Amino acid sequence: MSSIKTDNFTPPKKKNQSAMGEVDPAFIQAIEHRPKSETIEVEGIPLIDLSPLNLPEFNSDAVSHLVTEIGEACKNWGFFQVINHGVPLKASEKIQLAAKKFFHLPKEEKKKVSRDEINPYGYYDTEHTKNVRDWKEVFDFTLQNPMILPASHDPDDKDLRKLFNHWPENPPELREACEEYAAEVKKLSFKLLELIALSLGLTKDRLNDFFEDHTSFIRLNYYPPCPISDLALGVGRHKDAGALTVLAQDDVGGLQVKRKTDGEWILVKPTPNAFIINVGDIIQVWSNDKYESVEHRVKVNSEKERFSIPLFVNPAHYTLVEPLEELVGEQNPAKYKAYNWGKFFVTRKLSNYKKLDVENVQIYHFKN
């Protein structure tokens, strides 16, 4: 299959090919971005035990060891997994079950809660990453409901818009499962932001103010079995634009991280009940490139469906993202100009939905 070129690819016409029907050539990755059939499986991504946070008495040695581990992982990998994180297993199981029920519904039913150009929250099956369609379906919901975002990507338009979640009628338990899970995983994300702040030599609460009116959202990802799993990706290579991502994955596996030392794609082996954490572009800018946001992608499976649930932890829309003043100086001048998170986010969201008249915004556009 790997000899098929992008430009002359003819979709195979086997019956019952996939839940997505006929294979659209829009799914085909350029040769250099196709997944290899074998991926390197190493115990690479650090596994960090958060239990020192749950001790009845504060143990400063244990916590400083944890802070060092987190700092090393952010610097060397941009990714790590956490266990003993405090998110109840019940909350994770409940949302996973409800998500599965939702995605197994007929398309017409799911489309009742479709996202649109104005409100990017709800169901969606045609997201493109770098102009290639992802082999996935998603359902997005915000933690703050309503969420306040700029009304448009136009820098001169100062209007704001209130966005509400689109909850489906089916399965009826989805909303509660999502809200309960969101409350738990949010607590974990704030603990992680504090540990990351400490690891950068900042005060524990240094980042908290940015998140008072946060624009975080949770995505339910569904990757159906894929008949062209050597040609397509569940999510094409990308970096997460927000501050931090807290991801739950099932036991199928497929997430690959680009190793910083040699650029190889490394599979993040599923660890039961662990969360995968990665630094996003905003932490890269805040830390003035000390912690880099790392590229990752999702390989799909020809037989098995896969589910994952990322929480994208994002600051308030009015946040001006720039290197933190404590982390710049004469020896280490700011590598980025300030940018407005709300405008950045809205531009990205819209460009995932339709082709825009502006280039897809990236943090390197703000490099000094």
Query: Using an 8 Å Cβ cutoff, are 314 and 243 in contact?
Result: yes
Categorise residue 37: left if φ over 0, alpha if ψ from -120 to 50, beta otherwise: alpha
Query: Using an 8 Å Cβ cutoff, are 313 and 321 in contact?
Result: no
How far apart, in whole angstroms, are the C-alpha atoms of residue 206 and residue 102? 39
The residue among 252 and 327 lying less far from ligand AKG, judged by its C-beta, is: 252
Find the binder of ligand AKG among 153, 219, 290, 348 (CB under 6 A).
219
CA dihedral sign, ordered 117, 148, 295, 92 = negative
Q: Is 281 in the site for Fe ion (CB under 5 A)?
A: no
Query: Using an 8 Å Cβ cutoff, are 177 and 90 in contact?
Result: no
How far apart, in whole angstroms, are the C-alpha atoms of residue 161 and residue 119? 9
The residue count for binding ligand AKG (CB under 6 A) is 11
Q: Is 240 in the site for Fe ion (CB under 5 A)?
A: yes
Question: Please, what is the minimum distance in Å from the beta carbon of residue 220 to ligand AKG?
Answer: 10
Question: Please, what is the minimum distance in Å from the beta carbon of residue 360 to ligand AKG?
Answer: 15
Q: Which stretch binds Fe ion (CB under 5 A): 72-80, 87-95, 233-241, 315-323?
A: 233-241
The residue among 182 and 268 lying less far from Fe ion, judged by its C-beta, is: 268
Chain residues 296-325 in contact with ligand AKG, contact rule CB under 6 A = 296, 298, 308, 310
Helix axis angle for 60-76 and 174-199, nearest 10°, is 100
Q: Which stretch binds ligand AKG (CB under 6 A): 105-113, 247-255, 333-341, 342-350?
A: 247-255
Q: Is 342 in the site for ligand AKG (CB under 6 A)?
A: no
How far apart, in whole angstroms, are the C-alpha atoms of residue 147 and residue 332? 36
Q: Is 249 in the site for ligand AKG (CB under 6 A)?
A: yes
Query: Using an 8 Å Cβ cutoff, are 229 and 302 in contact?
Result: yes
Q: Is 221 in the site for ligand AKG (CB under 6 A)?
A: yes
Query: What is the binding site for ligand AKG (CB under 6 A)?
Result: 219, 221, 235, 240, 247, 249, 255, 296, 298, 308, 310
Sites of contact with Fe ion (CB under 5 A): 240
